[in-house]
Amino acid sequence: MFSHEFRTTSQELLPPEHSSWPAQGQGPIEFTKGERRTRFLLERHNGRMLRSLLLAPPGAGKGTQGARIAAIYGVSHIATGDLLREQVERCTPTGEAAVGYMARGDLAPDPLVMALVVERIAALEPPAGFVLDGFPRTIAQAEQAYAWGSEHDLTFHAVIALDVPEDQLVQRVVLRGETSCRGDDTAETVLRRIHLYAETSEPLLEFYRSRGILIEIDGTGTVEEVTERIRARLDALDLR
């Protein structure tokens, strides 16, 4: 996608064969040759940084894919669930206000989540690039985010929506709860969160579809297969 901006040979465009980039909160991730080339080209063209949103129901793999895509494109992965859990663990006033909503599987209030996200994005070194995971989740949040992003020249390049059948979602999240001891990953809470997502997501998807930035991705298959589907669509974008 940047071929017109480089004056190099095809050999110079290839990054080292054994390159890897650590995702936030985990060790180095080994990427395919195509993913390494994407990362290499973006490093050579660091004036443009991806700004995207990941939308998906619980268990669809937002956290995993968000970390991988952020690492490939050299930007920050900002997960609102992690931000809220961090506040709860630190026993901050924000955490105390959010803990009840999280335990029930409800969405935290818009002003609370918006403040956390804006604070984190504002702290990024310019040019700010990010993969947002878990916000916006409602039309009201999306409109607020768009107004703030327009004012600060930080609107999304793409909104990635992952589609996974409900039975797979429940299975994934319950298994995650058993292995990670997360109290909000019970079957009852998961079903509530899935149904809440279904209720709120369609207007949100239409909002971003009407802006021409929605990318709908099949979220089934291996982690690597889903990453490759996302990367193939993002590489076709003109990041500006």
Q: Which residues are catalytic?
A: 62, 137, 176, 182, 193
The Cα–Cα gap between 105 and 194 comes to 9
Main-chain dihedrals φ then ψ at residue 102, nearest 5 degrees: -65, -40
How far is it, in rounded angstroms, from Cα 236 to Cα 84?
A: 33
Q: What's phi and psi for 24, nearest 5 deg?
A: -60, 125
Q: Is 182 exposed, middle or buried (0-12, 13-18, 19+ CB in 10 A)?
A: middle
Residue 226 CA to residue 235 CA, distance in Å, equals 14
What gap in Å lies between CA 8 and CA 97, rounded to an integer? 54
DSSP class of residue 31?
-
How is residue 20 written in tokens? 């890897």
Distance CA 39, CA 42 (A): 5
Give, for 231, the enclosing helix (H) or strand (E).
helix 223-235
Q: Which of 133, 120, 121, 137 is closest to 61 using CA atoms?
A: 133
Helix axes 80-89 and 110-122, enclosed angle (nearest 10): 100
Token pair listed for 71: 């690492």
